[in-house]
């Protein structure tokens, strides 16, 4: 019996998007999160006395800013070398060989697969054969797995592959492959990288994405880490055990505003929701995006005072735990209880304004709405005069703010 660690997409020294640019953010913890994950991986390998470690691409996030990134990796690998733990590594699209211009000699226990063709390594002392090929360029669009070596009999065969398995949506279609193709290849285990969500796609043979070791933005929520894989004496996988390595945990905290009529009740709901999310974060720094949704009589007030509500979220986060919660942002997805069709019946001018709002784009203000800038809160005016990309999330949010403010102004105006 033997064990190994399957990790991928470490993106060493990659910035965590959405936090580090904020004033008073816990910069040290944020900037060091990917390094903490790698150190945790090495600690786990030593503690569990694994026989080897796999890194299935995107160890780095592109060219280094300085040699510090490479030196840190080398120092961590030397810790494994002291314990005689081999490491098998392929390059992915982010750390393709052609992009890494600053190189350092790696310890002898680190085996890097060729980027020119698929090759195999035999593990010393174990009936294990590892097959793999790294990316030679940033965008490898051919099916690399087609050229992987044939299975070696009486061995546990592992394929390391950085791939977009089954053309997964939202990911670059690099080194595309399919589950059926990998199954047919006959290997006992495929250690995949590139997709940042862990998933066991198939068992016997095992086709596994370990996900990334540290979430880098709000769209990479939940626990991130690696798998510890156990292989029995019959050379079959007997266990795939996930271990979290992240030090910053991302979560979207959603609050349904339906039926909430008092703002203080909403504030309490925000506080309770953040407390629950922190508990789920398992003593890690929580990077939370608050999303308010549902039909609500507070809709117009929330949009008119977006910055104040965001500040309230920050305040409630501090009340729960000022050291462990950081608010990444606030998204308002509530719906108005006002009926624009009824409001449009008031007069022609109102109907004209509401018609203009239907196609409102804050990057191109229509004349009937442009004059309303003088009536808007400072937050909205600043946003409207800022550089906004048409169709961007920021532009859509400002558009919703303006629509809510205008509807409220019409609804409360005298006949």
pLDDT band at 376 (very low <50, low <70, confident <90, very high): low
**Are 120 and 171 contained in the same domain?**
yes
pLDDT band at 68 (very low <50, low <70, confident <90, very high): confident
Instruction: Give the mean model confidence (pLDDT) for residues 383-397.
Output: 56
pLDDT band at 414 (very low <50, low <70, confident <90, very high): very low
**Are 53 and 143 contained in the same domain?**
yes
Rounded CA-CA distance 350/254 in Å is 34
**Are 345 and 296 contained in the same domain?**
no
Instruction: Give the mean model confidence (pLDDT) for residues 227-234.
Output: 97
Rounded CA-CA distance 383/368 in Å is 18
pLDDT band at 255 (very low <50, low <70, confident <90, very high): very high
Instruction: Give the mean model confidence (pLDDT) for residues 58-67.
Output: 80
**Are 112 and 57 contained in the same domain?**
yes
**Are 381 and 306 contained in the same domain?**
no
Question: CA torsion sign, 88 to 109 to 125 to 232?
Answer: negative
Instruction: Give the mean model confidence (pLDDT) for residues 91-120.
Output: 83
- Inform me whether the pLDDT recorded for 351 exceeds 90: no
Q: What is the CATH number of the domain that holds 255?
A: 3.50.80
- Give the pLDDT score at 345: 54
Rounded alpha-carbon distances, angstroms, from residue 126 to 78, 89, 129, 156, 205:
22, 18, 9, 9, 19
pLDDT band at 225 (very low <50, low <70, confident <90, very high): very high
- Inform me whether the pLDDT recorded for 296 exceeds 90: yes
- Give the pLDDT score at 348: 56
Instruction: Give the mean model confidence (pLDDT) for residues 281-299.
Output: 95
- Give the pLDDT score at 368: 47
Q: Tell me whether strands 325-335 and 285-295 are parallel, antiparallel or unpaired.
A: parallel
Residue-wise pLDDT for 136-148, tens only, equals 877 787 888 899 9
Q: Where a domain ends, among 229, 244, 259?
A: 244
Task: Report the percent of the chain where pLDDT is more than 90.
Answer: 61
**Are 89 and 198 contained in the same domain?**
yes
Residue-wise pLDDT for 313-344, tens only, equals 999 999 999 889 999 999 999 988 765 565 55
Q: Where a domain ends, among 184, 212, 244?
A: 244
Instruction: Give the mean model confidence (pLDDT) for residues 282-287.
Output: 94
Lowest mean pLDDT among 132-136, 231-235, 297-301, 344-348: 344-348
Mean pLDDT of the chain: 85
**Are 118 and 231 contained in the same domain?**
yes
**Are 120 and 177 contained in the same domain?**
yes
Q: What is the CATH number of the domain that holds 109?
A: 3.60.21.10
- Give the pLDDT score at 256: 97
pLDDT band at 175 (very low <50, low <70, confident <90, very high): confident
Rounded CA-CA distance 143/163 in Å is 9
**Are 308 and 394 contained in the same domain?**
no
**Are 49 and 116 contained in the same domain?**
yes
- Inform me whether the pLDDT recorded for 289 exceeds 50: yes
- Give the pLDDT score at 415: 45
- Inform me whether the pLDDT recorded for 359 exceeds 70: no
- Give the pLDDT score at 269: 97
- Give the pLDDT score at 268: 97
Q: Check whether the bond before 178 is cis (ω within 30° of 0).
A: no
Which of 70-74, 126-130, 405-409 has the largest mean confidence?
A: 126-130
Q: Where a domain ends, among 337, 356, 389?
A: 337
- Give the pLDDT score at 332: 93
Instruction: Give the mean model confidence (pLDDT) for residues 66-73.
Output: 88
Total tally of structural domains belonging to the chain:
3
pLDDT band at 23 (very low <50, low <70, confident <90, very high): low
**Are 276 and 237 contained in the same domain?**
no
**Are 172 and 282 contained in the same domain?**
no
Residue 366 sits in which domain range?
A: 339-415
């Amino acid at each position: 019996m033997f064990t190994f660690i399957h990790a991928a997409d470490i993106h060493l020294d990659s910035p965590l998007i959405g936090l580090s640019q904020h004033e008073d953010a816990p910069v040290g913890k944020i900037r060091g999160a990917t390094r903490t994950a790698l150190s945790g991986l090495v600690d786990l390998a030593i503690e569990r006395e694994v026989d080897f470690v796999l890194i299935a691409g995107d160890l780095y996030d592109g060219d280094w800013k300085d040699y510090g990134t490479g030196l840190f990796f080398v120092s961590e690998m030397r810790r494994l070398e002291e314990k005689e733990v081999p490491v098998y590594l392929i390059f992915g699209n982010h750390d393709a060989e052609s992009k890494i211009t600053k190189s350092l000699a790696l310890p002898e226990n680190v085996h890097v697969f060729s980027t020119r063709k698929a090759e195999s390594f035999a593990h010393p002392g174990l009936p294990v054969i590892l097959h793999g090929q790294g990316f030679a360029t940033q965008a490898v669009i051919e099916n690399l797995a087609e050229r992987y070596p044939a299975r070696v009999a009486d061995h546990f065969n592992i394929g390391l592959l950085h791939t977009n398995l089954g053309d997964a949506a939202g990911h670059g279609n690099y080194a595309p492959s399919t589950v059926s193709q990998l199954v047919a290849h006959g290997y006992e285990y495929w250690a995949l990288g590139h997709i940042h969500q862990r998933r066991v796609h198939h068992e016997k043979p095992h086709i596994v994405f370990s996900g990334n070791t540290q979430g880098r933005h709000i769209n990479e929520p939940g626990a991130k880490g690696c798998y510890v894989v156990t292989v029995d004496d019959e050379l079959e996988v007997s266990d795939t055990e996930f271990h979290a390595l992240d030090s910053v945990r991302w979560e979207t905290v959603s609050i349904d505003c339906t039926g909430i009529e008092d703002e203080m009740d909403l504030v309490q709901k925000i506080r309770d929701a953040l407390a629950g999310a922190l508990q789920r974060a398992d003593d890690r720094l929580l990077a939370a995006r608050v999303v308010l949704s549902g039909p609500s009589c507070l809709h117009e007030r929330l949009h008119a005072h977006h910055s104040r509500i965001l500040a309230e979220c920050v305040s409630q986060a501090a009340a729960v735990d000022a050291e462990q919660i950081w608010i990444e942002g606030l998204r308002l997805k509530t719906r108005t209880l006002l009926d624009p069709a009824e409001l449009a019946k008031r007069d022609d001018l109102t109907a004209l304004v509401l018609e203009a709002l239907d196609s409102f784009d804050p990057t191109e203000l229509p004349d009937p709405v442009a004059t309303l800038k003088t009536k808007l809160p400072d937050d909205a005016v600043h946003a409207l005069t800022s550089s906004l990309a048409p169709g961007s999330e920021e532009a859509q949010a400002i558009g919703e703010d303006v629509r809510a403010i205008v509807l409220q102004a019409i609804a409360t105006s005298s006949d």
